[in-house]
Amino acid sequence: MRRRIVRIATPTYTLGSVVLVMDEDRTRLLMLRQPPGRRWSLPAGLLNRREQPVEGGRRELAEETGIEADLAELVPADPCAVVHTSGRWVDNVFRLVRDPATTEITVDGHEVWDAAWHPVDDLPEMTRATAKLLAHYGLGPLAAGDPATEPPAAA
């Protein structure tokens, strides 16, 4: 009975992995358009049970873009985790360097409608969650220093 009460009272967290795929100079960012909306997001997804964050990031990247990466190529971003929605959702964030000119991207048209490289200083309209996440890395409309937008919320 005590174990059941603890399980009910203990907060739960949703864990995911996100991959920031950028060129060597960090001037272009790979973004995805996924159903149901028209706004852009990043290669990302929820972790499977007992899956390591870096493995989940690699899996989601391959599923959504067709890009295969070695685990060693996925470097933890700084910060390496971003907490969303009052601490109930945590994204593990990784960086991957790829050349937009030579990287072949494949989307299935169901889970991902479109994938494209965008200049980091002219990113397309994106989901609110993506904008909040990118702000932690000084990117996107909510990044500190952009006078046209509000400052990013504290993590």
| 130 falls within a domain | no
Nearest to 44 by CA among 69, 26, 62, 29: 62
Query: Which pLDDT belongs to residue 89?
Result: 87
| 145 falls within a domain | no
CA pair distance 147, 118, nearest whole angstrom: 21
| 69 falls within a domain | yes
Q: For the domain that residue 52 is a member of, what is the CATH number? A: 3.90.79.10
| 125 falls within a domain | no
| 68 falls within a domain | yes
Query: Which pLDDT belongs to residue 11?
Result: 67
Query: Which pLDDT belongs to residue 13?
Result: 78
Q: List the chain pLDDT tens, one digit each, 155 residues.
A: 777 777 677 667 789 999 999 999 999 999 999 988 899 999 999 999 999 999 999 999 999 999 999 999 999 999 999 988 777 889 999 999 999 999 999 998 888 999 999 999 999 999 999 999 999 999 999 987 544 444 434 33
| 22 falls within a domain | yes
Residue 60: which domain range? 9-120
Q: Give me the number of domains the chain comprises.
A: 1
